[in-house]
Chain A
Amino acid sequence: MSEAPNLIRRFHAGEANAFAELVSTHQDDLYTLCLRAVGMDKAEALAETVLLAAHQALHRLDPDTHLYNWLMQLAVEHIEASGPNKGDPSGGLDEQSTTIQTLLDALETPFRVAVIMRDIIRLSEIQIAEILQLPLGTVRSRIHRARLNMARSIAPIMDNV
């Protein structure tokens, strides 16, 4: 994910459009992470909460911070605080998307977040390790275990999807 040039500095300088640009640049990844981590019912509210928290904290953020990683880190903190998804996994999604959501909901939050970042948002393992502030080996292990659990859950219904 490429960084918008000097977005933090522009925000510090009081440029009115800087935060709106941040939102439009990162909203899809942020919304995807929230949607897949907490479900359709809470996704939009959670993504908005993360952005509000980011807006409150951005004025004291070091301008050299990797903005995307910082934002995703903030999102993960909110996801962990929001608890598991207990809503209807189908909630307006198509059949395959609902299947993915059902498989993800069965995972514990740390494994779910890791596999969403790797296989849905398509971040590298190194970047995920930076965001989650974990050793690379731990991230690889979480991704593998999540994939294996999902694969074993999908096997009985694989003919139908």
Chain B
Amino acid sequence: MALGGGYFKTTYDGDLALVDTRLRRVTLAALVVLLLVLPRLASPFALDLVTQVALAAVGALALNILTGFAGQVSLGHAGFIAAGAFTTAVLVEHRLPSPLLALPGAALVGAALGVVVGIPALRLKGLYLALGTLALHHVVLYVCGEFQNHWGANTGVSIPPPRLGAWVLKGTTAWYYALTAVAAIVLILSVNLQRSRAGRAWMAIRDREIAAESVGIDVARYKVLAFVWSSALTAVAGALFAYQRAFVSVEAFGFFLAIEYIAMIIIGGLGSSLGAVLGAAFVTLLPYGIDAAVAGLRVPGGAEYYLFPVKFGAFGLLMAVFLVFEPQGLVGIWRRIRNWFSLWPLRYRPLRRAS
């Protein structure tokens, strides 16, 4: 976004570029370098945290496409993740554990599910859509549970580490690189979707559906498209989830998982790709932060009985705080900080002249 004094572009390519100013190019390069050498700097525990954040970010970005860009409220996110994870489980049970099969397979299953959910969802708006997706979440989980009962004897399915030819993906560092790369790809995808025709259509539908329709946007098509994109990416996240955890069991995909992802995009900032990533980091790291705080405060014995409800409650509390006080989320805070720096010593952004 242009700030303050204005940046003057001289070519169309320059205008379209994702990274347009020199400061941004330098920052991006520094970021890439940092991510590449992180395994040398950080402990395995910290590296594992970053890997978890990357995996969560994929799911959060996918949900952001549906709810943030297109404004379609969905409470069934956990169902899509479960669909992706169980696609992997089904393939593993049929002795086809290769990720080259599982990831596209999961994406296909997700896309199909997106169509199945998206078409009836055209009739529903707002609250009813949320309820419908919630009901569908339970149906998907029931199907997955029946599969688990039948194949995995109800104790879940063990997933072997993914192998590509002779190379096996094992170990914290390898997973870190793999998942960070995937998260980066999905992030670029998300940002480009936002700037594309589909993205603009979605945002129009989100803001004023009737106006969007009157302008000539095919609302039905784009709504279903949003569902398809979102659930395909989510299912891929689910497949990655299955590989990384090396174990798939239906109870891990309860309603609370959907709430976690919604919290990620709300706390991060609805409608923003950066927000989805920041929210994913925040929600993923919160339990560890509480662990550290409890350990630091040296709470007397019995802490392990309180840790779970405290983490659970803290999550709920923070989500409520963000919903009530900071609807723009972490991105809103970040933008305020950034504006403060970029506008200093001035306080207010100059008004744009009507052109």
Instruction: Answer whether A and B are interacting partners.
Output: no
